[in-house]
Amino acid sequence: MTEATANKTVLARALDTVERVGNKLPDPAVLFLILMLVVWVLSAWLSTMSFAVVDPRTDAPIVVNNLLTGSSITSFFANMVSVFVGFHPLGVVLLAMLGIGVADHTGFIKAALRALLAVTSKKLLTPMLLLVGIVSHSAVDAGYVLVIPLGAVIFQAAGRHPLAGIACAFAGVSGGFSANFVPSALDPMLQGITQAGAQILDASVILNPLNNWFFTSASTLLIVLAGWFLTDKVIEPRLVGTEIDGDLADEPAMEDLTPQERKGLIAGLASMGLLALILLLTALPESSPWRGEGGDITAFSAPLMQSIVSLIFVVFIVPGIVYGYVARSVKSHRDIIEGMTQAMAGLGYYIVMAFFAAQFIAEFGRSNVGVLLALEGAAVLKAAALPGGITIIGIIILTGLVNLFVGSASAKWALIAPIFVPMLMQLGISPDLTQAAYRVGDSTTNIITPLMPYFPLVVVFCQRYVKSTGIGTVVALMLPFSVTFIVLWTVFLLGYWGLGIPLGLQASYAYP
């Protein structure tokens, strides 16, 4: 046995162990319920203690709220409905899937994929899917409900394992969350939080919203190359013996388009292009209602950015309907409603999990336990007073660990930026570099935490093809991506810093 074979065997055994242990965990819905009960007990215990770390939201020592008091419990029941209905990923998934469901039901999506496969080499499917996943960040959370399930369809159509397609797409959409050469609403949102943190120490600090753009653009190539290797050489070989037994296991192979289907596809794509043109023409004027205050079109508060999911619904349902009538795959409006109904029916399990996930996340935030973990970790890092490079590595690792408990990128950065940014400024490290380090740590562990709001949806996507898929299966699939990404991306950032390549517009490495 060669050394390479032995290494692969060790890796395969380790991943198999992760999968077995993970799949012994309770159903995700029950897991969220158990975790919520644990948080309740922890909150009651920790609320009796005093902590020295200061909560940046109140400028007072952090206080853990006891969730087992009478008022807390009655508040939990009083807000149960609003917490569930207000769970952000739920609305995103349901609305987007209504439009995508019609496009899938009429055959528009499959026709487009068949046309794409006809002109794309099978060898390039992996990097293409990773790149599409990375670019999808510009559309906020669209990648989770659009790119990931399409990854399975594309891989299966090419004779490859659909779970490898899901893993590849998930790695691009979520693992490479901060690798994107297309500016998105995330850039000004994080920049605003970083600037506020820097101004705690120096009120004159002003940062450019694209202060990490050059670095995130260069990171795109790193994530695509690393994800390509892992998908083809690690993930897919491991799935060779995994039987496809789900509801979509027997989907027919994608054949060449018929003349009628080709006409429908051309008409559907033309309608999609027309919608894009209308959006462009209405968004270009400086007085456009799509723009936010000051005419900024990429600001998080801009109507265009807030309408991304709604636009996805329109951009898919219209071409889906046009394709259906031209290709004669639908006969009346009842077929369109049937497509929506089927899409919602397929999300029944996700809705159940979303209910429990919403309650857990709300209680976790209400308790302040997650905030305490983040602040205590940052305090330890500050007290260590390590050299600049080691401190950057520490911030990346700490952010990755905190990411396992606090899923929202903006919420997490709002908590720790007031600590990290001024702390590193005192060490001579610029806010731009601190933000870049945060983005690396935040991206790389998204794909291995079941507490990430979209993680249960990925489990559902996998179960369509392999019924036995559980939390452990998905974690084992994504762990190689997570570990590789955080190591390579950290080295890449340190090398980028060492070479003095600009991080972005008006960015620096040193302060002052």
Q: Is residue 57 part of a domain?
A: yes
- Provide the residue range defining the domain that includes 36: 21-118+247-499
Average pLDDT, the chain: 82
243 has a pLDDT exceeding 90: no
Q: Is residue 363 part of a domain?
A: yes
Q: Are 98 and 344 in contact (CB under 8 A)?
A: yes
196 has a pLDDT exceeding 70: yes
CA-to-CA distance for 158 and 162, rounded, in angstroms? 9
Q: Is residue 201 part of a domain?
A: no
Q: Is residue 490 part of a domain?
A: yes
Q: What is the pLDDT of residues 291-325, one digit of tens each?
A: 887 777 766 578 887 787 788 788 889 999 999 99
Q: What is the pLDDT of residues 3-30, one digit of tens each?
A: 444 445 565 676 667 667 656 667 767 8
Structurally, the chain folds into a number of domains equal to: 1
CA-to-CA distance for 244 and 473, rounded, in angstroms? 14
71 has a pLDDT exceeding 90: yes
138 three-class SS: helix
Instruction: Give me the residues paired with residue 60 across strands.
Output: 55
Q: Is residue 262 part of a domain?
A: yes
CA-to-CA distance for 315 and 401, rounded, in angstroms? 37
506: Cβ–Cβ under 8 A, 6 or more apart, which residues? 207, 208, 211
Q: Is residue 212 part of a domain?
A: no
Residue 327: HSE in the Cβ half-sphere, 13 Å Cα cutoff: 29
Q: Is residue 353 part of a domain?
A: yes
Q: Is residue 224 part of a domain?
A: no
288: Cβ–Cβ under 8 A, 6 or more apart, which residues? 282, 297
CA-to-CA distance for 442 and 188, rounded, in angstroms? 16
Instruction: Give me the residues paired with residue 55 across strands.
Output: 60
